[in-house]
Amino acid sequence: MKEMYERTVVIGIFTLVYQYTRPLRFVGLTMYGSCIVKDPFELHRLGIFLKAYVSNRLSAGEHPVNAGVVLYRERVGHEEFIMLKAGDLIVPMDKTTAMEMQSILERFISRIDLFDIPL
């Protein structure tokens, strides 16, 4: 049996953790060292919200990724941000940052088995 080991991809303040298998197995998405997404469907949902924001199609209001993570749009001056709220922490992402994150997540999600959920 092949040994599975974890790899990470750092995307700014986020770290995508996965097991290097075929297909790749999602372990979690952390922010500042705390895991904010553990389920591949939640990761997919986060990617969908980021894609909608980047293409100016994210509606107003809160968009829950899971019970502890919410995304929403906010305008500061002449610039709009997508705000990621996880617990008491709120992190703003501009369009470029959101586009980078969305692109990496989309590519990653295409290489995992979305239905391979650990018990």
55 pLDDT more than 80: yes
Collapsing DSSP states into helix, strand and coil, what is residue 99? helix
CA distances from residue 44 to 2, 66, 75, 87, 103 in whole angstroms, order as listed: 27, 11, 25, 20, 12
For 57-99, write each residue's pLDDT tens digit. 999 999 999 999 999 999 989 999 999 999 999 999 999 999 9
As a whole number, the mean pLDDT across the chain is 93
Q: Are 18 and 108 in contact (CB under 8 A)?
A: yes
Instruction: Determine the pLDDT at residue 52.
Output: 97
Q: How confident is the model at residue 1 (pLDDT cuts 50, 70, 90)?
A: very low
pTM as predicted: 0.91
pLDDT tier for residue 117 given thresholds of 50, 70 and 90: low
Phi, psi of 82, deg, nearest 5: -105, 130
Rounded Cα–Cα distance for residues 111 and 24 (Å): 6
Nearest to 73 by CA among 88, 84, 86, 65: 84
